[in-house]
Structure formats: structure tokens, C-alpha cells
Chain A
Amino acid sequence: MGSIIENINDLSTKIGDVVIMELCGTHTQSIAKHGIKTIIPKNIKLVSGPGCPVCITPPSEIEYAKQIAEMDDVILCAYGDMANVKVSGSSLIDKKMDGCDVRMVYSISDSAEIAGKNQDKEVVHMAIGFETTAPSTACEISTVPDNFSIINSHRFFPPAMIALLESGDSKINGFICPGHVAAIIGLKPFQDIYDKFNIPQAIAGFNPEQILKSLESILEMIHTKKTNVINQYKEVVLEEGNKIALEKIGEVFKKEDSNWRGLGKIKKSGMKFRREFSDFDAKNRFKPKKFKVLEDKDCKCGEILKGNYSPRDCSLFGIKCNPENPIGSCMVSVEGACHNTYIFER
């Protein structure tokens, strides 16, 4: 057995052109930062999928957050990059510059602390993220003060994989699966996708060596036609996942259909608050005003999130749209496909 790189090179000569999709924004970032595309054979194409929560949050939810930020006596808290995504010409950061009280937080615990210290104001936390982040919201919600509410943009991830595979135009031959989502949900949801679609998958860690090892195992599966789900992140991911976290998610959320940027409505991918927690749903405190989202028609974020387009296929890339002046969410987020292509692969 040769080195991982030697094996990848060897396997590539036996399998023809293949498309492998990475499903976590942290993978996208690591692949670009470490130049992985430059050291693997040309017939192995890596594309980014809908694994960046900032990128897949639909414009309507950002517009709603902006509306809330504009209200009097409200503090709007959001995770880093989420605040930079422009919808209809402005972002939450733009609202902050206009004088609205918008704050960047690292954890929902930070937002809850802000609520505790500002009892005379309503504190609204914009909660994004997949199963990795949802347990923090589920735990925090039982202890937050009454002046705290949540814009719930959490989503279950596996339904997006199914939506991609059922879309009909999918050219994906294998998935590099998100290691930290898997740490929570375990192997079964990926196994179920394998049972239905017979697609090779490797659960991957995030350093370049771990990603290459996962890629090697996917290529091996394609070559031998012995498809499966291989866990290449065993130091973190247990077969059964994190049972306590899954129970907390189940206690607080139930499944509902949900919109994703680019992918549209995906069945049972949304995390709706169960009735006993609905008081903390921002939508029950602040009714959204009617609005029309204005988006640049040339922005290809939607197709990029499905792996159908590369960032360079977008006419805005690098010229009208760049990290200094991002048009679409995939350029805003440090985990976005466009951002990473611009910074590391231009």
C-alpha cells in the first residue's frame, strides 16, 4: 500500500472522471486553504455543496432579522458572517451602522447573557446551523429570560443530501460528509441515504490529511463498486452519534418543510419549535412585515450550492462580487465556495 496521495493517483487512473462533493463549509475552507485541488488528479473534481449554514439561509429570513433590528428597544444578536449577508442591498451590519443595536456573538450563551443584562429590551438571537449547533439552542432555551427570543433558522442536514440526489440533475459520485454533523447524528442517517441511493460516503475530519484520507476511501469504493459509509473520523464520531444531544434536539424541535437558498423547499428539513417552546419563537412576538426580496439576477449562489456551477462560472465572480463587496452569500461567508475560491484559488 502506497501513501494516500499515491493511492489517490493510482485509483484515479482506474475510474475516469468523477465528481465528489464536500458537505461542510469547514471542508470547503480547508480544501481551498491547503490547495488540495492542486495536488489531486484533474479527473477528480471536488465541488462544494450546501454545507455552509450562512450560505443556505434564505434571504427572507435575513430580511426578517433586519426588520427586527430596526425596531426600538431591540438588540439583535447574530453569528459572525450572518450579519454580513446583504439582502435587497443591505445587511445586518449595515443596519448596525445606521444605528440599530446589532451584536456579533460566538454562542447563544452570549446572547442569553446580553438578555440578562438588558431586561428593559427584547433580545433576539438569530440561530443558524445544522445538527451541530441546534443542541446549544435546545439546551439554552430552557433557561433564557423572558425578554429573549430566537429567529429559528436551524435545519436538519441529511434531507438536503436527499434533495440533491433526487433533483435529477445531480452528477455527484460521492460525498465527503460533515464530521461534526455526524458527531451528533451518528452514521445511520448517512447509511439510510446509502441504502436508497447507493452513493459512496466518507465521514471526514477537517485537516487536509483527514480530507485526503476520506477522498481516498471514496475513490476506492467507486473503483471496487463496494459502496458504503466509511467513518474516517472515529476519534470524534461514534456510530450512534451523541445521544444526549439528539434527545435535546427531539425535546425542543420537530421536523417541518423548510426553504434553503438555492435548493428551495426541502421536506422535513426545518426545525420547528415544539408548542411548549413557541413563546421563544421570534415570529410569535414580531410579525414579519410584507417585503419583496431584491436579488441580483446574475448571482449564481443557488446553482453553486447544488454543485452545478463553480464560482468561476458566475459572471459576477471577482469583478462585481468579491469579499470586499460581496453580492451573494457564498462570497460573504469565510466558508463559502466563492469566498474560498477568490481568496485561495484565484
Chain B
Amino acid sequence: MCLAIPGEIIKIEGNKATVDYGGIQKECRIDVVKADKGDWILVHAGYAISVLDEKEAKKTLELLDEVI
């Protein structure tokens, strides 16, 4: 239920953003985040809940290479 999908904002109109999820585009509401075109956001139940921190995301990806 708390699943949230990351996607890139490609257009903003008022409190709505068009988000690209790896090829599929869908609208979501951005009322509770401060986001710009080009930002990556996490979308849950039609609403963005968080803007992804690119620097931290890259650190996590590096860390995750060390799992096994």
C-alpha cells in the first residue's frame, strides 16, 4: 500500500505534473513537494511524496554493489 514509484517530471502545470516512469507517462499531483521539471520524485497513490536526492541516491547505489 505504501508502495511509491520513482519517475522524472517532464512537465508542470499548477499542482499537476506529468511524470515519466521509464517510458510510461502519467499525471500526478505535486501539492506537498517543491519540485521542478527534471526532478525525480516518488509517487504514491497519485501524489508525489518526496523529491529524490540525487547525491544520496548515487551513494546508495554504490553501497548496494557491495551486498554479496
Contacts and interface: CB of A to CB of B under 8 A. Distances in A.
A139 interface: yes
Nearest to A243: B32
B57 A235 contact: yes
A202 to B, nearest CB: 13
A139 B31 contact: yes
A209 B49 contact: no
Contact of A4 (B44, B49, B59, B66): B66
B32 to A, nearest CB: 4
Contact of A213 (B3, B49, B63): B63
Nearest to A130: B2
B2 A129 contact: yes
Which of B2, B34, B47, B68: most chain A Cβ within 10 A?
B2
Interface residues of A, number: 48
Contacts, number: 117
B50 interface: yes
A109 interface: yes
B56 interface: yes
A135 interface: yes
Interface string B28-42: 010111100000001
Contacts of B50: 180, 183, 236-237, 242
Nearest to B46: A107
A252 interface: no
Which of A3, A108, A209, A248: most chain B Cβ within 10 A?
A209
A130 B2 CA distance: 8
Contacts of B54: 235
Given A213-B64, A234-B60, A242-B32, A183 B49 contact: yes
Given A26-B3, A107-B47, A139-B29, A234 B53 contact: yes
Contacts of B10: none
Contacts of B1: 25-26, 52-54, 79, 81, 128-129, 132-133, 333, 335
Interface residues of B, number: 28
A215 to B, nearest CB: 11
A24 B2 contact: yes
B30 to A, nearest CB: 10
Contact of A5 (B53, B60, B67): B67
A257 to B, nearest CB: 22
B32 A244 contact: yes
B45 A180 contact: no
A224 interface: no
Interface in A271-303: none
A139 B63 contact: no
Given A3-B66, A139-B31, A205-B60, A180 B46 contact: no
Interface of A: 3-5, 24-26, 51-54, 79, 81, 106-110, 128-130, 132-133, 135-136, 139, 178-181, 183-184, 205-207, 209-210, 212-213, 234-237, 242, 244-245, 248, 333, 335
14 contacts: A3-B67, A24-B2, A25-B2, A132-B44, A133-B1, A135-B31, A136-B46, A136-B47, A180-B4, A183-B42, A207-B64, A235-B56, A235-B60, A242-B49
Given A3-B67, A3-B68, A132-B1, 4 more contacts: A52-B1, A79-B1, A132-B44, A335-B1
